[in-house]
Amino acid sequence: MEKTLKRYFLVFVAPTLIAFAFAFIVPFVMGIYLSFCKFKTITDAQFIGFQNYVRIFGDSDFLNALWFTVRFSVLSILTINVFAFLLALALTRKIKGTNLFRTVFFMPNLIGGIVLGYIWQQIINAVLLQYETTLVANAAYGFWGLVLIMNWQMIGYMMIIYIAGLQNVPSDVLEAAQIDGANGWQTLIRVKLPLVMPSITICLFLTVSNSFKLFDQNLALTAGAPGKRTAMLALDIYNTFYGRSGYEGVGQAKAVLFFIIVAIIALTQLAATRRREVEA
């Protein structure tokens, strides 16, 4: 059996491997190479060394976008996970219609980001109309709008993961805790939380990477307005690449830098939460 598997290893893996190489590895390597080039279209690139990376910091766009993204991410990661966990707790109790509620909360996740952004833009603008202002009048509106959309969209998904985690907490452990006289709060903090740590790892990873890479919602909701003050990193990269003549290489360099930042943050977070995972 083992031998046969080994013999056919290539046959089974090759299609996926080739697809992966073409769709991911080749563009990725090309992208890194292009970040060291001056180019208009990717077919006429000319190597220029680290110049693009220096030019990233020629104006404050990238740093502003980074700061905005960090603020947005921290806030939305916290709120999404807290709310998702609370919902999961509520919906793992034996109340009527939990399945219906779970589906309802999950629904927003099925709507595409662009559509969602435009819908919420209409909603928020309709509310702001009362105060004779619009979403793009103040950067703070855009910020809170984004946090709101992101919460609305992501909470359901994270909730499902937390529900799965909570349902996997063995009932004998819970009963033991009850017999030992632990109250609800103590059970939650000392028993349930450590046991759903794997779910927390996954949810944190998903929210961190999704918040940092957010693009569609950002584009549809404010497109960075007013000015560029609500532009997040992905949008800034897009604008640099397409919106400024002669800055294609700089946009590419920003993208590489962006990749490194997201990779470092996500890996640190994974390592940190992994260490806290325990077996029941």
Partner 1 sequence: MKKRILSVLLCLAMTVGILTGCSKGDNSGTQNSNETSNQESQSQSDSGGNQGASQQKGRVYYLSFKPESDRVWQDLAAQYTQETGVPVKVVTAASNTYEQTLMSEIANAEAPTLFQVNGPIGYESWKDYCADLKDTKLYSWLLDKDLAITGEDGGVYAIPYVVEGYGIIYNEAIMDKYFEMDGAKVADMDDIKNFATLKSVVEDMQAKKDKLGIKGVFASTSLTPGEDWRWQTHLANIPVYYEYTDKGITDTDALEFTYAKNFKNIFDLYLNNSITKPGLLGNKSVDDSMAEFALGQVAMVQNGNWAWSQIAGIEGNTVKEDDVGFLPIYTGVEGEENQGLCVGTENYFCINSKASKEDQEASIAFVEWLFSSPTGKRAVVNDLGMIAPFNTFADEEKPNDPLAREVLDDMEDEDTEVIPWYFTSFPSIRFKDNFGAALLEYAAGSKDWEDVTKQVVDDWAAEKAAVQ
Residue among 42 and 173 whose Cβ is closer to partner 1: 42
226 lies in the binding site for partner 1 (CB under 8 A): yes
Length of the chain as a residue count: 280
242 lies in the binding site for partner 1 (CB under 8 A): yes
Interacting span for partner 1 (CB under 8 A) from 68-76, 77-85, 132-140, 265-273: 132-140
At 8, which helix (H) or strand (E)? none
**DSSP alpha helices (H): ranges in 180-247?**
184-186, 193-195, 197-213, 216-221, 233-243
Residue among 29 and 82 whose Cβ is closer to partner 1: 29
Q: Is the link from the previous residue into 170 a cis peptide, with omega within 30 of 0?
A: no
Interacting span for partner 1 (CB under 8 A) from 37-45, 76-84, 174-182, 198-206: 37-45
Site for partner 1 in 63-102 (CB under 8 A): 99
Interacting span for partner 1 (CB under 8 A) from 17-25, 128-136, 143-151, 205-213: 128-136
Interacting span for partner 1 (CB under 8 A) from 41-49, 70-78, 184-192, 251-259: 41-49
What is residue 46's three-state secondary structure? strand
188 lies in the binding site for partner 1 (CB under 8 A): no
Place of tokens 């984004």: 146
Which residue from 87, 91, 136, 234 is in contact with partner 1, where contact means CB under 8 A? 136
Handedness of CA 115, 119, 125, 129 (dihedral sign): positive
What is residue 38's three-state secondary structure? strand
**Per-residue binding letters, 96-125, with partner 1 (x by CB under 8 A):** ---x---x--x--xx-xxx----------x
How far apart are the C-alpha atoms of 20 and 228, rounded to whole Å?
35
Determine what percent of the chain falls in helix, strand and coil, rounding each to the nearest 5. 80, 0, 20
Closest CA to 208 of 72, 109, 87: 72
Q: How far apart are CB 16 and partner 1 at their closest, in Å?
A: 17
List interacting residues with partner 1 (CB under 8 A): 40-44, 58-59, 99, 103, 106, 109-110, 112-114, 125, 129, 132-138, 216, 223-228, 242-246, 248
